[in-house]
């Protein structure tokens, strides 16, 4: 939209794509956002291969043509709405050309509202979708063939109000939460798509909840109130395995098993808080482009990553089926159900 209903500087419209191979060798994350009240458009792409994270970021002035989803070397083309999109990056030593095709209808996520004290800090609407991808990824000397049977794609589109760096928080620090626990889990199976969302406060009080199963041409099946058992890597909050307990409409228990394969912290390269080098919506002037390579072998080199959300490419099991998708996880501060007592507490 050229004009939005609010004058809030934090108004945004953004998308994110995940492209992951089923062996856990690579995870590509790409996104693009517009910020109509600050006049900014930006985009990013990160690719994890082994311990290296390749990143390209670009930012520019938002023009009048809002259908042009392109910033610097990064672009998204909607070839068929809600069905087929093309993702491209044309940086010198990091490039890709991928066709993302939907296998299931898009699914509304719950209306997401957050406040700090009486201040509205986030109000967003989202939809999520799963599919398959084909194309090619190049990074340095690596060339990856993206094939439909060996790679899965998920995507999320959201819009509303979400914090952009640079605003005076006022009394916000007085209302800093003791803890925050987040799960966002889109999973593609051959014959179904499962979506799970859970957001909890320090005491485990749930403020956002969703669990649905989607098939082509069929009404979404609600899967109850998800409860998750997570096995963390010792001394960290890095999830290695999990079981998400679901319930079908006949009250039959279902177990969604999770095995994480490849991880990409969104605070490194992708511009999500609390990134220290670049965050979404930040004005960098016209025609800004940045290329970085990060070494993820030493977590101590990226200390803020532990305080941001991490996207884990994962293998899932459900009733004898195997699927693939994203286990997005963030757990900061106190979380009583997990046994975390504060920001320095680990598994």
* Confidence label for 3 from pLDDT (cuts 50, 70 and 90): confident
Sorting pLDDT into bands at 50, 70 and 90, what band is 124? very high
Q: How confident is the model over 87-112, as a mean pLDDT?
A: 96
CA distances from residue 231 to 80, 241, 249 in whole angstroms, order as listed: 40, 5, 28
Q: Above 90 in pLDDT, residue 309? A: yes
Strand, coil or helix: 120 = strand
Would you say residue 346 lies in a domain?
no
d(C-alpha 164, C-alpha 59), whole Å: 14
Instruction: Flag whether pLDDT at 81 surpasses 70.
Output: yes
Range of the domain at 124: 11-161+176-338
Q: How far apart are CA 279 and CA 267, in angstroms?
A: 9
Is residue 253 very low, low, confident or very high in pLDDT (cuts 50, 70, 90)?
very high
Other C-beta atoms closer than 10 Å to the C-beta of 111 total 11
- Residue-level pLDDT at 219: 85
pLDDT for 174 beyond 80 = no
Residue 66 predicted with pLDDT over 90: no
Q: What is the distance between the alpha carbons of residues 261 and 229, in angstroms, rounded to a whole number?
A: 18
**Range scoring the smallest mean pLDDT among 78-92, 154-168, 329-343:** 154-168
Q: Is residue 347 part of a domain?
A: no
pLDDT digits (tens, 9 = 90+) for 22-39: 999 999 999 999 999 999
- At 117 the pLDDT is 84
Q: What is the per-residue burial (b if ≥16 Cβ within 10 Å, else e) of 149-158? A: eebbbbbbbb
**Dihedral over Cα of 331, 337, 343, 347: its sign:** negative
| Domain total in the chain | 1
Q: Which of 227 and 217 is assigned the larger pLDDT?
A: 227
Query: Within a domain: residue 77?
Result: yes
The contacts of residue 175 (CB under 8 Å, 6+ apart) are 116, 117
Of the candidates 159, 158, 157, 167, the residue with the CA atom closest to the CA atom of residue 119 = 167
Rg (CA), the chain: 19
CATH of the domain at 220: 2.40.370.10
- For the chain, what's the residue count? 347
167 within a domain of the structure (yes/no): no
Q: Does residue 199 carry a pLDDT above 90? A: yes
Quickly state the pLDDT bin for 163 (edges 50, 70, 90).
very high
Query: Which tokens sit at 183?
Result: 């799960």
pLDDT at 171: 66
**Contact present, 60 and 42 (Cβ < 8 Å):** yes
Residue 170 falls inside a structural domain: no
* Alpha-carbon span 284 to 185, nearest angstrom: 32
Is the pLDDT confidence value at 125 over 70? yes
For residue 172, what pLDDT band results from cuts at 50, 70 and 90? low
Band of pLDDT at residue 138, cut at 50, 70 and 90: very high
pLDDT mean across residues, the chain: 95
In a domain, 6, yes or no: no
149 token code pair: 């049977």
Q: How far is CA 126 from the centre of its chain?
A: 12
For residues 266-286, give the mean pLDDT. Answer: 96
Instruction: State the pairing for strand pair 227-232/239-247.
Output: antiparallel
Indicate whether 193 belongs to any domain. yes
Residue 216 within a domain: yes
The residue-averaged pLDDT of 300-318 equals: 94
Mean pLDDT is lowest, of 95-99, 134-138, 305-309, for 305-309
Rounded to an integer, what distance in angstroms lies between the CA atom of residue 54 and that of residue 180?
Answer: 29
pLDDT over threshold 70, residue 129: yes
Residue 195 has pLDDT above 70, yes or no: yes
Asked if pLDDT for residue 167 goes beyond 90, the answer is no
């Amino acid at each position: 939209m050229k004009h939005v209903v609010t004058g809030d500087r934090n108004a945004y419209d953004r998308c994110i794509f995940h492209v992951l191979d089923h062996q856990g060798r690579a995870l590509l994350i790409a996104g693009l956002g517009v910020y109509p009240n600050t006049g900014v458009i930006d985009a990013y792409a990160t690719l994890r291969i082994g311990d290296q994270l390749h990143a390209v970021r670009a930012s520019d002035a938002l023009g009048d043509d809002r259908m042009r989803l392109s910033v610097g070397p990064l672009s998204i083309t909607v070839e068929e709405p809600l069905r087929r999109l093309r993702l491209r990056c044309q940086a010198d030593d990091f490039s890709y050309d991928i066709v993302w095709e939907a296998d299931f209808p898009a699914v509304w996520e719950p209306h997401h509202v957050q406040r700090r004290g009486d201040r509205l800090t986030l109000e967003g609407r989202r939809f999520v979708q799963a599919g398959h991808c084909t194309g090619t990824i190049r990074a340095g000397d690596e060339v990856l063939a993206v094939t439909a049977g060996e790679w899965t794609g998920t995507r999320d589109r959201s819009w509303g109000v979400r914090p952009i760096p640079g605003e005076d928080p006022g009394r916000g620090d007085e209302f800093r939460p003791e803890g925050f626990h987040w799960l966002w889990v889109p999973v593609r199976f051959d014959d179904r798509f499962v979506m799970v969302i859970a957001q909890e406060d320090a005491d485990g009080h749930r403020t956002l909840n969703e669990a649905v199963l989607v098939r082509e041409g069929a009404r979404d099946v609600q899967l109850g109130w998800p409860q998750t058992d997570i096995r963390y890597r010792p001394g960290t909050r890095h999830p290695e395995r999990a079981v998400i307990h679901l319930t079908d409409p006949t009250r039959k228990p279902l177990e969604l098993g999770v095995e994480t394969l490849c991880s990409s912290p969104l605070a490194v390269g992708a511009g999500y808080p609390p990134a220290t080098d670049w965050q979404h919506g930040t004005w960098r002037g016209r025609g800004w482009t940045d290329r970085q390579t990060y070494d993820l072998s030493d977590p101590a080199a990226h200390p803020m990553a532990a305080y941001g959300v991490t996207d884990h490419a994962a293998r899932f099991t459900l009733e004898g089926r195997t699927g693939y998708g994203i286990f997005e996880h963030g757990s900061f501060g106190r979380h009583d159900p997990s046994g975390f007592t504060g920001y320095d507490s680990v598994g």
